Amino acid sequence: MSPMTPVDDVVEALLARAVPLARAERLDLAEALGKILAEDIVASVDVPSADNSAMDGYALDVTDPAMHVGGLYRVADRIAAGYTGRPLTPSTLTRIFTGAPMPAGANTVIIQEDTRRVGDLVEILDMPAKADNVRPRGQDIDLGQTVLSMGRRLQPQDLGLIASVGVARVAVYEPLIVGLMSTGDELVEPSGTIGPGQIYNSNHYTLSGLIRQLGMTVMDLGLVADNADATQRALLRGAEEADCIISSGGVSVGEEDHVKAAVEELGGLDFWRIAIKPGKPLAFGNVAGVPFFGLPGNPVSSFVTFLLIARPYLLKLQGTTDTAMRHVWARASFDRAAGNRREYLRVQLNDNGKAELAATLYPHQGSGVMSSVSWANALAEQEIDQVISAGDWLKVFPLS
Ligand code: AMP
Ligand code: MG
């Protein structure tokens, strides 16, 4: 039997093959949340566009010899945010408010709290240094600067940043279309009633949720019976309309497993034995040129392999540059013997009171135990041959 391929090698090989989607659309900024930027955003303005006051106070010229602590000065002008004032008159102050542009000739702002009103005049109680309380032009962004690069998933604060340089519409990638099929004669949709030997189709709901959480569109290829014909028909339908096809089940070595043969017939299969637990039988290939993932049928296995193996690939197809899963470190609060595949354990992370995270293991780690995934808030990685003892540091991947 061929040796099992390490998970990291599989992910690397997949990323090397993934060709980002070409379809982009131009959306209003407000519609672009969570989308992947398909262009660089270059500032055509300085932000801020002029030197302006960071505080409410008085603008003045620190180099004016008339200015000193204890001196009383006339307020010759007043500038609110949104307006421009006259150039500073020597030996006077200009009343200024936060965000208002500095008047020509002024180079500092004395905050209101460091002054005292004496009739019509203002006394200086403390002299600021040059440039104090002034936000210089371009402090945040310089004209010509790339503020965000293509491939970025747009967060609310990114929309704000783009707006701050006066861009109202952005090019983003259209959502990837992922064809999703569930194989197995035993499967019944949750709206139906199961008879002996049947189970409800749960994988569709988990996987479509995971796909939609990535901002992609699910094309439902339905329940697919365990025979060559039905499998090929579903695959071909997916290949016509989807950017990628994902199936669950039917990729093991039994004679009821038709997916591998069908994919080989319609395109090609690249690999399928991966050193990952749960989830060893996983197929990757293409159907008429459309990339195809055959995830294992066991619900926990399809969940884990989707996240660890399919997700980075799909993200790259979608045009995303950041494809890595975030990890943190946590202390095991359990012991566990080593294995010969890299294992992803369902754990809960909790603060252990010592400014560390503690990882608690779900007691039933079987690949059919969906409760473990729902209960968990992270997957802990157990390397091949790694013995885990309570107190050991574990690499964990938070699930949200
Ligand atoms: P298979 O990979 O087709 O041999 O399936 C492995 C196990 O996962 C079997 O117990 C199947 O009944 C189960 N299974 C397959 N597909 C699904 C599904 N869509 N939802 C829930 N369980 C499934
Ligand atoms: Mg099956």
Region 363-381: mean pLDDT is 97
Residue 182's DSSP bridge partners are: 223, 248
Query: Quick check: 210 pLDDT over 90?
Result: yes
Distance 328 CA to ligand 1 centre (A): 31
Region 363-372: mean pLDDT is 96
Region 158-178: mean pLDDT is 98
Mean pLDDT lowest for which of 32-46, 198-212, 243-257? Answer: 243-257
For a ligand 1 pocket test, name from 298, 302, 306 the mutation site with the most ligand atoms within 8 angstroms of its C-beta: 298
Pairing verdict, β 187-188 and 281-287: unpaired
Q: List the domains of the chain with CATH numbers.
A: 7-21+175-318 (3.40.980.10), 28-47+141-173 (3.90.105.10), 52-135 (2.170.190.11), 328-398 (2.40.340.10)
Any residues with Cβ below 6 Å from ligand 1, and which? 182, 184, 186-187, 199, 201-204, 248-250, 252, 296-299
The radius of gyration of the chain from alpha carbons, rounded to an integer in Å, stands at: 31
Pairing verdict, β 41-42 and 24-28: unpaired
Give the Cα separation of 63 and 149 in Å (integer). 43
Q: Are 161 and 203 in contact (CB under 8 A)?
A: no
* Cβ count near 335 (within 10 Å): 12
pLDDT at 273: 84
Per-residue pLDDT tens for 297-335?
Answer: 999 999 999 999 999 999 999 999 999 999 999 999 999
Taking all residues of the chain, what is their mean pLDDT, rounded to a whole number? 96
pLDDT at 67: 98
**In this structure, what token pair is assigned to residue 103?**
């008047």
Distance 203 CA to ligand 1 centre (A): 8
- For tokens 């006051």, what's the residue? 53
In sequence order, which residues have a C-beta less than 8 Å from that of residue 226 and are 6 or more positions away? 183, 184, 185, 250, 256, 257, 258
Q: What percent of the chain has pLDDT over 90?
A: 94
Q: Are 363 and 345 in contact (CB under 8 A)?
A: no
Query: Quick check: 53 pLDDT over 60?
Result: yes
What region, left, alpha or beta, does residue 85 occupy, with left being phi > 0 and alpha being psi -120 to 50 degrees? beta
Distance 298 CA to ligand 2 centre (A): 9
pLDDT at 155: 98
pLDDT at 181: 98
Q: Are 243 and 176 in contact (CB under 8 A)?
A: yes
pLDDT at 255: 86
Distance 302 CA to ligand 2 centre (A): 12
Q: Which atom of ligand 1 is nearest to the CA of 257?
A: 3
Q: Which atom of ligand 1 is nearest to the CA of 182?
A: 19
Per-residue pLDDT tens for 104-151?
Answer: 999 999 999 999 999 999 999 999 999 999 999 999 999 999 999 999
Query: Quick check: 256 pLDDT over 90?
Result: no
For a ligand 1 pocket test, name from 221, 248, 260, 367 the mutation site with the most ligand atoms within 8 angstroms of its C-beta: 248
Q: What predicted TM-score, i.e. pTM, was given to this entire model?
A: 0.93
Q: Whose CA is nearest to atom 3 of ligand 1?
A: 249
214 closest CA partner among 346, 299, 325: 325
Query: Quick check: 212 pLDDT over 80?
Result: yes
Q: Are 204 and 180 in contact (CB under 8 A)?
A: yes
Query: Quick check: 377 pLDDT over 70?
Result: yes
Residue 146's DSSP bridge partners are: 42
Query: Quick check: 1 pLDDT over 70?
Result: no
Q: Whose CA is nearest to atom 11 of ligand 1?
A: 297
pLDDT at 280: 79
Per-residue pLDDT tens for 335-367?
Answer: 999 999 999 999 999 998 889 999 999 999 999
Q: Whose CA is nearest to atom 16 of ligand 1?
A: 297
Q: If you count them, how many residues does the chain have?
A: 400
Distance 268 CA to ligand 2 centre (A): 20
State the ligand closest to the CA atom of 281: 1
